[in-house]
Homo-oligomer: A and B are copies of this chain.
Amino acid sequence: MNIQIKTKSLTALRFEPFGDILDCSGPPDKIINGGYCKRYHNRARLDFNNGEVGISFFHAKPRSLPYEFNMLERHPEGSQAFIPLSPNPFLVIVAQNRNNHPTNPVAFLTKPNQGVNIHRGIWHGVLTPLTEPGIFAVIDQIGQNENLEERWLNFSYEVILP
């Protein structure tokens, strides 16, 4: 049996329990470069042990809707930010935690020119671009500790448009 969930648009209020939206919303914090550039300062709550942070790249195959999933994962060792090298929206699946198991998954569709930072320990789906080329910069923990927990769900979920 598949449980259908409809995508929600990504808003700061809805996403606040799970992470940060990374974008240029609101007024800039500073105008730099002789007026040519707006700086939106320090938009992510980065959270790492001992500053073990790095910039990596993920190149993921695009998925399409309806999108089915039955596994979520979390990273105990730190936050994980995804910045698309494309203005195209992508799918962000997150879930609440109950007894060390993900529950009530929510599927967000980003707006153009947005990334996300998923907070430490938050259950989330694998990276799901919806368009080529599916290339993202990823700012996450790069130390040697095991940093991945995966959970298979009791049901399969199917993400559809509203």
Contact = CB atoms under 8 A, between A and B. Distances in A.
Nearest to A71: B34
Interface in A24-53: 24, 28, 32-34, 36-44, 46, 48, 50-51, 53
Q: How many copies does the complex hold?
A: 2
Contact of A57 (B23, B32, B86): B23
Interface stretch (A58-66, A93-101, A151-159): A58-66
Nearest to A44: B55
- Interface size range of chain A in the complex: 35 or more
A60 B83 contact: no
Contacts of A84: 85
A130 interface: no
Contact of A37 (B46, B58, B117, B139): B58
B87 A61 contact: no
Nearest to A57: B40
A127 interface: yes
A48 to B, nearest CB: 7
Contacts of A86: 85-87
Contact of A85 (B33, B41, B83): B83
A53 B59 contact: no
25 contacts: A22-B55, A24-B57, A24-B135, A32-B58, A32-B126, A33-B60, A33-B127, A36-B63, A37-B58, A37-B60, A38-B58, A38-B60, A40-B57, A40-B59, A42-B54, A42-B142, A43-B55, A43-B57, A46-B54, A53-B53, A55-B83, A55-B117, A55-B139, A85-B85, A86-B86
